[in-house]
Amino acid sequence: MIFKGIDDQSVEFRITNYQYPEIKEGGWDGNWLNVYLKVKSNCGNWQTVDPSLTTWEVQGLIKWFETLSKNERLEHLEKNFTEPNLSFELLDNQNNALKTFRIKFDLESRPESASDDKQYYVDCIADNEELHRIMNDLRIELERYPER
């Protein structure tokens, strides 16, 4: 799936596999997902693959975008995860017709040449229809790798 950023920026997000595909019984180790990112941004262009999210965290991200798409109140304006590689933050009023959110990259989700004194992110603007598309695309990504 593609997050369309402002100024022709983009983030390709794909779940490529479980971190430990051989573990079938679930629990934390059985639910970590390898996430492929291809980032085209004002901060640079790079690609990474890292076990950044669990199945539960992707489900939570889907819910976050669903809530935004319905103009409902978010519990938290920033969506953080166990591994601090990725985060999503709403930058404006959640009742606006167009919502601006930031995808932030840290640690293993930054470019290999990353500098610790620089922030890496892509800002996106989306209406409710686009937020609904994002939610559905994330759901499709997760269908191949359900909670175990």
- Domain around 7: 2-143
Three-class SS of residue 45?
A: strand
CATH number for the domain spanning 22: value is: 2.30.31
87-91-92-93 Cα dihedral, nearest 10 degrees: 30
Chain position carrying tokens 């965290």? 57
Give the tens place of pLDDT for each residue, 85-105: 999 999 998 788 899 999 999
Instruction: Confirm whether 104 is domain-assigned.
Output: yes
- The structure tokens listed for 128 are 């409710």
Residue 57 has pLDDT above 90, yes or no: yes
Number of structural domains the chain divides into? 1
Q: What is the pLDDT of residue 26?
A: 84
Q: What is the pLDDT of residue 96?
A: 85
Q: What is the pLDDT of residue 12?
A: 98
Instruction: Confirm whether 35 is domain-assigned.
Output: yes
Instruction: Confirm whether 148 is domain-assigned.
Output: no
